[in-house]
């Protein structure tokens, strides 16, 4: 730009120029830029101090004596002033661009560092979680086994003994489920939740789960109804994983429904898939709660009854891995119906 303005006057090109200093004085140590290698004297010079983006710069504009002796009029001064203004403008634009690029680079570097740090933290958490969960699983398994053996040895008349054993069993079983859920969480987060769908009758996976939960429902005075078609509904399913889905959904329904309420498990065959629903007469969910119900660790404040808030997050991951989907229909005070689909076996 500077050269463009003075290109019509070759003498001006070599005898007019500018220097930029960092700070408020033209200190040679602080020289940032010189338009020509030649250093001018202080005569025929104009100094300007600029404050750009919080930093002070000194602009030194000059015309060498040979420029004046060639022109000998006020014109050179005018040219010098115009040149100075244009140069200052160009300088400001260049500086602003430069600072913007620097800022962007700094922000990008900060964002990259934060992402790397977050990824490292997640990896460490996953590793710790996996090691701890894995190492806890075996001792908890031994406790459960030993307690079962102990239960057989305690005389039937010893009520207090059996109550204590039942308490240990409940606590250990809770730990077993929690460890399993934490391991599943790590698997989901690291993309290692593998399902192996094979053709199997849906009723079998459902019954396995119902058999475990029926005594709990009965103890809590909740009517558990299972309304499945007599003909086998053959679906593509990883039986253990689908049983886990049933356990979570029926377990939730029983857990959150008040005594005297009911829970109904149904299934219907559609042309290419099977839809299963678990309906209850519990407290139901608001629209805002329905939005969050499948989030990890989410629990409605009003209905905290133990657990970690991982059940439905895992349910969703398992059903999705099967190529199905899971939904919830509910109104506050009118119960909740959780439904999921599985592809039919060919």
Ligand X SMILES: Nc1ncnc2c1ncn2[C@@H]1O[C@H](COP(=O)(O)OP(=O)(O)OP(=O)(O)O)[C@@H](O)[C@H]1O
Task: Give me the residues that bind ligand X (CB under 6 A), please.
Answer: 181, 248, 252-253, 256, 280, 282-283, 285, 293, 298-300, 303, 307-313, 336
CB of residue 336 to ligand X, shortest distance in Å: 4
- Give, in degrees to the nearest 5, the angle at Cα 9 between 6 and 12: 70
For binding to Mg ion (CB under 5 A), which residues are involved?
252, 311
CB of residue 180 to ligand X, shortest distance in Å: 10
Residue nearest to Mg ion (CB): 311
The site partner of 303 among Mg ion, ligand X, none (C-beta below 5 to 8 Å per kind) is ligand X
For the chain, give the secondary structure using H, E and C. CHHHHHCCCHHHHHHEEEEEEECCCCCHHHEEEECCCCCCCCCCEEEEEEEECCEEEEEEEEECHHHHHHHCCCHHHHHHHHHHHHHHHHHHHHHHHHHHHHHHHHHHHHHHHHHHHHHHHHHHHHHHHHHHHHHHHHHHHHHHHHHHHHHHHCCCCCHHHHHHHHHHHHHHHHHHHHHHHHHHHHHHHCCCCCCCCEEEEHHHHHHHHHHHHHHHHHHCCCEEEEECCCCCCEEEECHHHHHHHHHHHHHHHHHHCCCCCEEEEEEEECCCEEEEEEEECCCCCCHHHHHHCCCCCCCCHHHCCCCCCCHHHHHHHHHHHCCCCEEEEECCCCCEEEEEEEEECC
Nearer to ligand X, 35 or 308 (CB): 308
Nearer to ligand X, 20 or 263 (CB): 263
CB of residue 188 to ligand X, shortest distance in Å: 13
Cα→Cα distances 221→67, 209, 269, Å: 106, 18, 31
Nearer to Mg ion, 15 or 252 (CB): 252
CB of residue 137 to Mg ion, shortest distance in Å: 20
Nearer to ligand X, 239 or 290 (CB): 290
Nearer to Mg ion, 83 or 282 (CB): 282
The site partner of 76 among Mg ion, ligand X, none (C-beta below 5 to 8 Å per kind) is none
The site partner of 236 among Mg ion, ligand X, none (C-beta below 5 to 8 Å per kind) is none
Nearer to ligand X, 40 or 283 (CB): 283
The site partner of 308 among ligand X, Mg ion, none (C-beta below 5 to 8 Å per kind) is ligand X
Nearer to Mg ion, 17 or 311 (CB): 311
Residues 339 and 329 sit within 8 Å (Cβ to Cβ): yes
The site partner of 15 among ligand X, Mg ion, none (C-beta below 5 to 8 Å per kind) is none
CB of residue 221 to ligand X, shortest distance in Å: 17
The site partner of 68 among ligand X, Mg ion, none (C-beta below 5 to 8 Å per kind) is none
The site partner of 283 among Mg ion, ligand X, none (C-beta below 5 to 8 Å per kind) is ligand X
CB of residue 339 to Mg ion, shortest distance in Å: 16
The site partner of 300 among ligand X, Mg ion, none (C-beta below 5 to 8 Å per kind) is ligand X
Both tokens of residue 97? Answer: 């661009």
Nearer to ligand X, 15 or 337 (CB): 337
Residues 312 and 251 sit within 8 Å (Cβ to Cβ): no
CB of residue 201 to ligand X, shortest distance in Å: 25
CB of residue 254 to ligand X, shortest distance in Å: 9
Other beta carbons within 10 Å of 305? 8
């Amino acid at each position: 730009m500077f050269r463009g303005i003075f290109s019509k006057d070759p003498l001006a090109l070599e005898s007019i120029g500018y220097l930029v200093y960092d700070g408020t004085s033209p200190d040679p140590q602080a020289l940032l830029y010189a338009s020509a290698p030649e250093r001018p004297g202080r005569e025929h010079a104009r100094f300007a101090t600029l404050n750009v983006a919080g930093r002070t710069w000194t602009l030194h504009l000059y015309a060498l004596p040979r420029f004046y002796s060639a022109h000998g009029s006020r014109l050179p001064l005018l040219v010098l002033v115009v040149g100075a203004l244009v140069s200052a403008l160009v300088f400001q634009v260049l500086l602003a661009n430069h600072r913007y690029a620097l800022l962007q680079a700094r922000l990008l570097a900060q964002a990259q560092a934060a992402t790397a740090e977050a990824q490292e933290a997640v990896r460490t958490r996953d590793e710790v979680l996996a090691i701890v969960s894995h190492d806890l699983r075996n001792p908890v398994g031994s406790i459960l086994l030993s307690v079962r053996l102990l239960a057989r040895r305690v005389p039937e008349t010893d009520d207090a003994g059996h109550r204590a054993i039942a308490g240990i069993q409940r606590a250990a079983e809770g730990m077993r489920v929690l460890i399993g859920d934490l391991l599943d969480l790590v698997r989901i987060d690291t993309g290692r939740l593998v399902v192996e769908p094979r053709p199997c009758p849906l009723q079998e996976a459902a019954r396995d789960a119902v058999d475990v939960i029926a005594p709990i429902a009965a103890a809590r005075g909740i009517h558990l109804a299972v309304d499945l078609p007599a003909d086998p509904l053959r679906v593509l399913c990883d039986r253990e994983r689908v049983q886990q889905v049933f356990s979570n959904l029926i377990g939730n329904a029983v857990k959150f429904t008040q005594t005297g309420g009911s829970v109904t498990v149904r299934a219907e065959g559609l042309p290419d898939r099977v839809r299963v629903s678990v309906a209850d007469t519990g407290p139901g969910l608001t629209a805002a709660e329905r939005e969050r119900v499948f989030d990890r660790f989410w629990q409605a404040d009003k209905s905290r009854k133990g657990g970690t808030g991982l059940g439905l997050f895992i349910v969703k991951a398992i059903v999705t891995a099967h190529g199905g989907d899971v939904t919830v229909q509910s109104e506050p005070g009118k119960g909740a119906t959780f439904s999921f689909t599985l592809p039919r076996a060919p």
